[in-house]
Each structure stands twice: as structure tokens, then as C-alpha cells.
Amino acid sequence: MTSTLAHAAGPKDLDNAWVRQQFPSLETQVNGQIAAFLDGPAGTQVPQQVVDAIQKYLLHDNANTCGAFATSRRTDAMIAGARQAMADFFHCDADEVSFGQNMTTITFALSRAIARELKAGDEVVVTTLDHDANVAPWRALEEKGVVVRQVDIRESDCTLDLDDLKRKIMNKTKLVAVGYASNAVGTINPVAEITRLAHAAGALVFIDAVHYAPHGPIDVKTLDCDFLACSPYKFFGPHMGTLYGKREHLMRFSPYKVRPAPDALPDRWETGTQVQELIAGIAAAVNYLAELGKRHDTAARDRRSALLAAYRVTHAHEMALLAELMEGLMAIPGLRIFGITDLKRFNERCSTVSVRLEGHTPTEVATFLGQRGIFTWDGNFYALNLTERLGVQARGGLLRIGLVHYNTADEVERLLAALREFSRA
Ligand SMILES: Cc1ncc(COP(=O)(O)O)c(C=O)c1O
């Protein structure tokens, strides 16, 4: 009886072997060694389903939108389906989702549109922890006399200084721009609480969920945020960006657009012809995650519950890998970890870790690892405020190790062995 029930609920642990079979590129070899893709924060690999969807679109449905013929109608249907997939992903309505080139371009377009309603002396709050794509578009408003205030971090654990945030949100604050999770040090920000604080002061909230999206489920309804952006290429999809906006704001703010383009939602926010084949790939990425969720929870009935099931199991897997990684890193002499290291506080972080090894630049370490087929990233990852604040910007930044659900304990062990070898040399 018990085993039948367990079977009906699906496997408890992530079926990592099945996961890896879905991603053909994970078989890539470098110098005779299988590649360890620990570069997920800069862009994840894609499952076969995504490649197939892009190919199918180009081979069978390729057309511009809103035409009176078969391929154009199929294109319209495909885009509507992809929008619904992202609506399930964000937990919103389909007309609150728009697609764009990438998160950076979307955010610049949105900040310009919002700026039409701002005047000199209005204030916007950004943070030291954020990627510059959630800083520069808001700093650009300084040209109009908008005052930009920047919330500091607590250097000891690279978390946001919430007292400073409370001081900086004032009655002149019109918008708070905050990241869901740091792409450099993995900190997860209390975005629901920040949204509450901002709304209490009458300000809007824009959340950059690019780094959080591969690690945890997004629920814009529960967060109650006004805007949230993320990039499918960071959660197993193609290189594009997507935006959620509350309907009332998407209608009220006026984007820069060409006159013949529709003024209805969400089209008014989608400038020009979209990369439709990649939109097909976005739907496939969401469906891949849902399929993963259904394998692990056969009781998951709709796509949203399947997505939540997927994140339950990928999160547990990532946290187990993170614990191994952290323990191993802490034992390497001369290695400094930036951010939360305490296992008891792992709920405040995701599985992205940045370090520096004494006496070496991050580029030297990344090059050594790269020659052994271990892909990490070095530099500032565009989290420029943070690398400057931590005093590492002029010294080559950080070495970033990113774990997602297709990574394995063997890969973590390989990385640690290589780091130990390099630190001894
Ligand atoms: C946290 C975060 N925000 C924003 C961006 C920018 O995203 P995009 O490349 O889609 O413009 C990135 C890209 O690395 C990121 O990691």
C-alpha cells in the first residue's frame, strides 16, 4: 500500500539521470573530459524539447503575426500558448506577460515609459546588490532630475541592509528596483517584505527575477509586485526576456511605440517583430519544467502545480549540492567566500557562490578550471555596484560557481579537487 502511494506521488529525489538525458549539450567534452557546466548564472543549457520547438516553428509555422493564412494563424496560436505558459510561470494572466529581446532592453524601455510621468525631485531606489540591468535604466532618469538613492549591503554576509532600505524609501519615492536574488553572491532578498514597504510609501516595485528564476517558483500574485522581469535563457530556454506587469500599470504607462502597432495589451509593450522561433522555445522551456514536476509529483494536475513540484525537487537537489560545495570550499586554505556560508541560513540564498583565492586573480583560476573542462565565470558579472563595494573590482572581481538542477555531486567534487590542486601549486 505504502509503496503504491509512494509510486503515485513520483520519485522523492530529483531524477538527475533523466534530467541530464534531456540536455544533449551536457555531453560536451573538453580536453578529453566531460564538461561541468557551472556557468548557469550566465545562461543555462537547453533541453532537447526547446531545440525541437524552435526547429518545428521555423520548419512548419514560420510567418509574421495576424495574417489571414495558415502559418500566420499558427504563429498567433503559438504566441498565445507561450504567453499562457509564462502566465503559469509567473502566476498571472496571459495579457500581463510581454516578450522582449532580453531583460536589460525591457527594463530600459519600461524606465523610459515610467519616466514620462516623473518630474525633477521624484525619487527612485536601487540597490548595491543588483545587476546593473536593474540599476542603469533607473540611473538614466537622473537626466530628468529624478533622485536615485542606493541601498547598501551588510558586507559580512552580502545581504541587503534593510534598515538602510527603510531609511531610503520616503514619500517622494516613486519606484523601488530590487533583485529577487543576486547573480553574484546568491543572496535571496525578502522581496515580499520590500514590496510591502514600498507600497506603504506609495511607490511601485520592479523586481529583477533573472537570477532567481532557475532556482525557485515566482508568484507575482503573492508578492503583489508591480513589475517583474526575467530571462528564459537563465531557466533552460532561449535568449530572450519576459516582463510581467500589473494590467493597470501596463495600460496606464505609455510605452514608446510605432503608431500602427496595436495599443491593446500586451502588444503595446512588444516593440517591432519578435523573435518568434525563440518564443516557441520559451513555451518549451516552461513545459520541460512542468514535465519534470509531473515526473516527481504525479498528482500535479495543472501546469502551475507541476511547476511548483519541479521547483520543490530541484531546490532540494541544489541545496544538497550547495552544502557539499560550501563544506569543501571552506576547507581550502586562502579561499574567501563572499555571502552567506552558514547552512542554517541557506533559505536566504541560492546555489550561486562567489569566491577569491589568495594570490590569484579570478581569471587565472577560471582559466585553470576551464582547461579541465570545468566552466565557471570570473569578473563582475555586471553586478558592478557590488564588486566595487566589496573592493574587488580593481582586482579582477570574483570567481563564480553556479549550480543548477542538472549539476551533480561528482561535478562539485571535481571542482573542489581542481581548486585544491590549484591552491597547492
Ligand atoms: C540578475 C540579473 N539581472 C539582469 C540580467 C540581464 O539580463 P539580460 O541578459 O536578459 O539582459 C542578468 C544577466 O546576467 C542577471 O544575472
pLDDT digits (tens, 9 = 90+) for 133-181: 999 999 999 999 999 999 999 999 999 999 999 999 999 999 999 999 9
Q: Is the pLDDT of residue 6 over 60?
A: no
C-alpha 69/C-alpha 7 separation (Å) is: 47
| pLDDT exceeds 80 at position 206 | yes
Joined grid coordinates for residue 186: 546568491
Mean pLDDT of 98-127: 98
CA 271 to ligand 1 center in whole angstroms: 20
Which numbered atom of ligand 1 lies nearest the CA of 211?
Answer: 1
Model confidence at 4: pLDDT above 80: no
Question: Does position 285 have pLDDT exceeding 80, yes or no?
Answer: yes
Residue 211's pLDDT band, with cuts at 50, 70 and 90, is: very high
Residue 401 clears pLDDT 80, i.e. is over it: yes
What is the number of the ligand 1 atom nearest to the C-alpha of 41?
Answer: 16
For residue 103 and ligand 1, the question of a CB distance below 6 A is answered with yes
Q: Is the CB of 241 under 6 A from ligand 1?
A: yes
Q: 1 alpha carbon to ligand 1 midpoint, in Å?
A: 48
* pLDDT of 185 strictly over 50: yes
Residue at grid coordinates 581548486: 419
Average pLDDT over residues 261-287: 96
pLDDT 10s digits, 353-366: 999 999 999 999 99
- 60 residue type, one letter: H
Residue 183 near ligand 1, beta carbon < 6 Å:
yes
Q: Which three cell numbers stand for residue 147?
A: 533622485
Is the pLDDT score of 9 beyond 80?
A: no
Q: What is the mean pLDDT of residues 318-333?
A: 98
Per cent of the chain over pLDDT 70 is 97
What is the average pLDDT score of the chain? 96
pLDDT for 425 equals 81
Condensed to tens digits (0 to 9), the pLDDT of residues 10-21 reads: 677 999 999 999
pLDDT of amino acid 2: 36
**How much distance in Å is there from the Cα of 131 to the middle of ligand 1?**
7
Q: Look at residue 12 in the predicted model and tell me its pLDDT.
A: 79
Which contacts (CB < 8 Å, 24+ apart) does range 85-90 have? 85/282, 85/283, 85/286, 85/287, 85/303, 86/242, 86/244, 86/282, 86/286, 88/286, 88/290, 88/302, 88/303, 88/304, 88/307, 89/218, 89/286, 89/289, 89/307, 90/218, 90/219, 90/220, 90/228, 90/244
